[in-house]
Structure 1
């Protein structure tokens, strides 16, 4: 009973926490969801999706990438039950997927070629049917890790983005997008051959903090 009461008190405190809003010169009730929405509206990544070292218990060996599409986090497993946690953008409704793949190749400032399905949905992409050169305007951002399964390109990637506001959202056509600085960091850590696990919706193969 004491535990239940403490939990309820904690929840109430969180609901009634107040922060100072300099734009209105008033104290307002803190709403974490609103903070995320406001960050997105300003074109920046919400604070909770910033890169962070976290405790992480998993049976997977260090060097494994685990992607939680529900909570929009990518974990790079480290020794001693720790991981680097990155915020990600994932596939929008109808484009989600799960499974076990591996990094088949990597590229810096990769070129991008839309798939036939993408062109069918958006005919304006026909302009890039032979490929869009790498660069700051390229949808794949600064780095790309190409995900393979059974020796074949799955057509899914972990890649950068020039839209930092999209981190934490369901926005892509199935690829996993990261801030450019974060994908550069992951790129430097994960060699070709790295195991990548994309969790099914609602799955809990590990215990994040």
Structure 2
């Protein structure tokens, strides 16, 4: 889709559901959530851009010549989703997880992790890697990260973050850089 049209859609508050072409953009091998796949993606976004289609539960890493790598993801459950344009402001291997105060309020049993849960342990919900999304120079508190709940891929299960299989988030982590543009629909 044309960049100006895409940005006007974002500004108007419409979602990817209003653009059936985006949901149908992956024209090859539409076997959802069977791992990463190379697909054709009709976009004017620059190679390197990450596009998250929350409706389709898919993350696209834009490549050259109209191709993209498509990953299945889990997205924010109702009331916890986020949409907008951001940049990767930080990348972390085996990230420490600290539940936000609002999450501790909803789930008091998480108070024991108020100072953080070390990375690299099986219970850490951020998994193997985390890409921290920033907008206007500020942390949005939303992440693209691995998961210790691989069965959640393809669902709306998170508290707003984008979850990926650990092997796939490691692959994406190695392909992107600080400053990479991320579009979440």
The answer, yes or no, to whether TM exceeds 0.5 is yes
Please say which structure displays the higher CA radius of gyration.
1
TM superposition outliers: structure 1 runs of 4+ over 4 Å? none
Name the SS of the counterpart of 2:32 in structure 1.
Answer: helix
Q: CA deviation at 1:166?
A: 0.3
Where does the alignment leave 5 or more consecutive residues of structure 1 unmatched? Answer: 1-46, 200-209
Where does the alignment leave 5 or more consecutive residues of structure 2 unmatched? Answer: 1-30
Alignment partners' CA distance in 2, 1:158 and 1:137:
17
- TM-score of the superposition, structure 2-length normalised? 0.81
- TM-score of the superposition, structure 1-length normalised? 0.72
The aligned counterpart of 2:183 is: 197
Q: CA deviation at 1:57?
A: 1.4
Cα shift readout 1:35-76 (whole Å, capped 9, x = no counterpart): xxxxxxxxxxxx621210001110100000000000100000
Alignment partners' CA distance in 1, 2:159 and 2:143:
10
Alignment partners' CA distance in 2, 1:126 and 1:81:
46
The aligned counterpart of 1:118 is: 103
The structure whose residues are more often strand, as a share, is: 1
Pairing 1:179–2:139 present: no
The aligned counterpart of 2:78 is: 93
Q: Please give the residue correspondences for 1:102-181 in structure 2 after superposition, counting only pairs within 5 Å.
A: 102-135=87-120, 136-181=122-167
Cα shift readout 1:103-125 (whole Å, capped 9, x = no counterpart): 00100000000000000000000
The aligned counterpart of 2:9 is: none
The aligned counterpart of 1:33 is: none
Q: CA deviation at 1:137?
A: 2.1
